[in-house]
Amino acid sequence: MRLKRIFSMAWENMKQRRLRAFLTTLGVVIGITAIIALASLGEGFRVSITNRMEQGFELDVLTLIPGTLFAGMKEPFTDSEVANITKVSNVSVATPVMQVGSVILYNGDKNVTAFVGAAVNFTEFVEVFPDRFRFEEGGMPEQIKNDTLIIGHKVNHLNETEPAFAHPNDEVNMTLTINYTDYVPIFRNYTFTVAGTLEKTGTAGLTSFDYWVFIPLETARKIYGDVTDLIFVKVSDPELSETVAEEIEALFPPYRLTVLVPLTFIQQVNSILNMVEIFLTSVASIALLVAGIGIMNIMTVSVMERTREIGILKAVGAKSRTILTMFLAEAALIGIVGSLTGVPIGYGLAHVLSYVLSGFVTPQQNHVFQRPEVERAAVTPIFSWEWAIIAVIFGILICILFGLYPARKAAKLDPVEALRYE
Amino acid sequence: MTALLEAKGLKKTYRMGKVLVPALQGITFDVSEGEFIAVFGPSGSGKSTLLHLLGGLDRPDEGEVSVDGISFSTLNDNALAEVRLRKIGFIFQFFNLLPRLTALRNVELPLTLADLPEKESIKKAEAMLKLVGLGDRMDHRPSEMSGGEQQRVAIARALINSPKIVLADEPTGNLDTTTGGEIVQLMKLLNKEKGQTFVVVTHDPAIAETADQILYLKDGMIQKMKKGRRRL
């Protein structure tokens, strides 16, 4: 008997036992709904976290700091070391940075503290961070002067309601700590001319420059000497960042430096999120298993009720395999209808859940220096065809698997016994 | 005439708990093409068991059934189902229609099982229902039809695949005399006009007497065979 006819007969059968078919299918719908809801929420969660991290970290930028957390010399890098790193293959730029500590800026009667004062080679720095260095006002001067100053967004706008701290061409006084005598800092004042102020760089990360001010490396070296506190290395391809990191490490004696590779970090977080996602969906799959048992239960009853019918079919000439297929077709139909219904409902549920959950999660706002960012910490569920197809196949397979026992029971019935069944 | 159906030394014993109940104790007879045979006997004489064996619904403990030259003992269950589908038609006392299918779909069922395209099978089933006088009841379900009408549907279903032989188990047993008579007439008509071979199990002497040949069955054995009066 043709499969198409078997399926249309199974469909007719289900239509004539609407309530039973509905309830059995409902179990599958719930199972698939749970799986899709959790999977698309999990996927959305993962993407939003990865996005945030990618905003916070340039994936193609390695950060090199001298020494390690526990051992090694924490001596600053030398220029020859920087030059060696530039020679490593796939390194496009290696730029030295000197940290001048936190600085206080004065503009007329206004003053502000910048938590990070960095002395950089502007030309190279812009090459490394083209996306971070977007100017709100002013811009990179054609000729870098000794007194060029670029101000990070939050330094300039510590309070959004108040006017900006400085504008381009303002002359700003900066107090730098130049030395210590008996632990007492010695300050000296310098005057810089503001070349530009930066746009907000967004999510806080290792390289969020909102609280930074930048002065030319040459200027700082005149004051402090040839000191390099950290090196930013731009690689030509983020995928190669781990290889490049290994090659750089190989250039130096052990414990000389630490290379921070954002990709590794993101990959680790990603794999953790992956595990969480798989765990959640396996929990949801239990619902589907319960639905499968429901199907087995209902179908076993159904086989008993239809014993005589099976006898008739056999007498008329239906093969055992045909009977088996007929019952499996009913199970499969329940699976198909239930799964296909469950996918959109699950996706919808994910949206509802994400909205409801966002009410419970308050956005991060307890950072001492940061003003609260007013945004809903919502996760947008992500629909993935892959997950949908896997869930539908899984749903149908479960139904067929649990339908197998009753269907085999039906197929094995002795025709004479079955015909005699009242 | 060559034998269309041959039964040789059929024996069948049922086990009821610990007791062995011999249902058939050696039955041998032939049916020729175009014959109308009645198997007559009191209840418990093994009539139904015999019919099940002839139709390949059950297998004998001993002996051999062959239809159209095909010996059942050589066939596996699937092949036997195929023989039931193509060579044998069944008519039952309780009609045994599928309750959720319309008359048309019930009649069409064997054609569907035989993988005939739907268009063709519906056309054939319609023609067959018209032949048994139910041209206007095709879309009714069994529950919406009288016993006589249901039995006509069953006859149409039995004949739809042009079987070599139709086996009927007390076809009038559940009908009143008048309706039963009509059903017998229909079968006789099909026998006479289409040469359809029938083996009818009955304990109604009125049917038995109209047959070409009557097999008297008692305690699982053929007591006697007699020529019927063969009249309508």
Q: How far is A320 from chain B (nearest CA, A)?
A: 7
pLDDT score, position A206: 61
pLDDT score, position B208: 82
* Burial grade of B175 (CB within 10 A; 0-12, 13-18, 19 or more): buried
For residue A181, what are its two tokens? 């005598």
Q: Do A320 and B84 touch (CB under 8 A)?
A: no
pLDDT score, position A413: 92
What lies within 8 Å, CB to CB, of A252 at 6+ separation is A81
Whether the predicted pLDDT of A243 surpasses 60: yes
Which of A309, A322, A416 has the CB atom closest to B113's CB atom? Answer: A322
Q: Do B110 and A309 touch (CB under 8 A)?
A: no
Q: Do A317 and B161 touch (CB under 8 A)?
A: yes
pLDDT score, position A365: 46
Q: How far is A323 from chain B (nearest CA, A)?
A: 11
Stretch (H or E) spanning A173: strand A171-181
Give the SS3 label for residue A203: coil
Which of B52, B97, B113 has the CB atom closest to A317's CB atom? Answer: B113
Q: Do B82 and A317 touch (CB under 8 A)?
A: yes
Whether the predicted pLDDT of A376 surpasses 60: no
Q: Do B98 and A309 touch (CB under 8 A)?
A: yes
Q: What is the rounded CA–CA span in Å between residue A2 and residue A322? A: 9
* Burial grade of A144 (CB within 10 A; 0-12, 13-18, 19 or more): middle
Q: What is the rounded CA–CA span in Å between residue A294 and residue B181? A: 49
Q: Determine contact, residues B118/A322, Cβ cutoff 8 Å.
A: no
Q: Do A317 and B81 touch (CB under 8 A)?
A: yes
What percent of chain B is modeled with pLDDT above 70? Answer: 97
pLDDT class for B232, splitting at 50, 70, 90? very low
Q: What are the extents of the domains in chain B?
A: 35-60+71-227
Residue B164 phi/psi, 5-degree rounding, is -70, -35
Average pLDDT over residues A196-222: 81
What lies within 8 Å, CB to CB, of A80 at 6+ separation is none
pLDDT class for A265, splitting at 50, 70, 90? confident
Q: B35-60+71-227: which CATH architecture?
A: 3-Layer(aba) Sandwich (3.40)
Whether the predicted pLDDT of B104 surpasses 70: yes
Residues paired with A174 in a beta bridge: A105, A190
Q: Of the candidates A334, A316, A335, A313, which has an alpha carbon nearest to the alpha carbon of residue A411? A: A313
What digits encode the pLDDT tens for the residues A311-345? 999 999 999 999 999 999 999 999 999 999 999 99
Task: Tell me, yes or no, if A320 comes closer than 8 A to chain B by beta carbon.
Answer: yes
**Full DSSP string of A271-331:** HHHHHHHHHHHHHHHHHHHHHHHHHHHHHHHHHHHTHHHHHHHHHHT--HHHHHHHHHHHH
The residue type found at B199 is V
Task: Tell me, yes or no, if A13 comes closer than 8 A to chain B by beta carbon.
Answer: yes
The residue type found at A165 is F
Q: Do B100 and A12 touch (CB under 8 A)?
A: yes
Q: What is the mean pLDDT of chain A?
A: 86
Task: Tell me, yes or no, if A325 comes closer than 8 A to chain B by beta carbon.
Answer: no
Which of A5, A414, A419 has the CB atom closest to B112's CB atom? Answer: A5
Its sign, for the CA torsion A178, A182, A183, A186, is negative
A309: closest chain B residue by CA: B98
Q: How close are the terminal C-alpha atoms of chain B, in Å?
A: 23
Q: Of the candidates A410, A302, A308, which has an alpha carbon nearest to the alpha carbon of residue B92? A: A308
What lies within 8 Å, CB to CB, of A337 at 6+ separation is A25, A28
Mapped to the 3 state alphabet, what secondary structure does chain B carry?
A: CCEEEEEEEEEEEEEECCEEEEEEEEEEEEEECCCEEEEECCCCCCHHHHHHHHCCCCCCCEEEEEECCEEHHHCCHHHHHHHHHHHEEEECCCCCCCCCCCHHHHHHHHHHHCCCCHHHHHHHHHHHHHHCCCCCCCCCCHHHCCHHHHHHHHHHHHHCCCCCEEEEECCCCCCCHHHHHHHHHHHHHHHHHHCCEEEEEECCHHHHCCCCEEEEEECCEEEEEEECCCCC
What lies within 8 Å, CB to CB, of A284 at 6+ separation is A31, A34, A35, A37, A38, A39
Average pLDDT over residues A112-123: 88
Which of A1, A416, A419 has the CB atom closest to B112's CB atom? Answer: A1
Q: How far is B89 from chain A (nearest CA, A)?
A: 7
Q: What is the rounded CA–CA span in Å between residue A41 and residue A379? A: 7
Whether the predicted pLDDT of A235 surpasses 90: yes
Which of A309, A319, A416 has the CB atom closest to B81's CB atom? Answer: A319
B-side interface with A, Cβ within 8 Å? 52, 55, 57-58, 77-78, 81-86, 88, 90, 92, 96-101, 109-110, 112-115, 118, 157, 161
Q: What is the mean pLDDT of chain B?
A: 89
A312: closest chain B residue by CA: B96
Q: How far is B115 from chain A (nearest CA, A)?
A: 5
Q: What is the rounded CA–CA span in Å between residue B147 and residue B220? A: 30
ipTM: 0.91
Q: How far is B88 from chain A (nearest CA, A)?
A: 8
What digits encode the pLDDT tens for the residues A44-62? 888 888 877 777 677 888 9
Q: Do A312 and B96 touch (CB under 8 A)?
A: yes
Whether the predicted pLDDT of A387 surpasses 60: yes
Angle at which helices A320-360 and A18-56 pack, to 10 degrees? Answer: 50
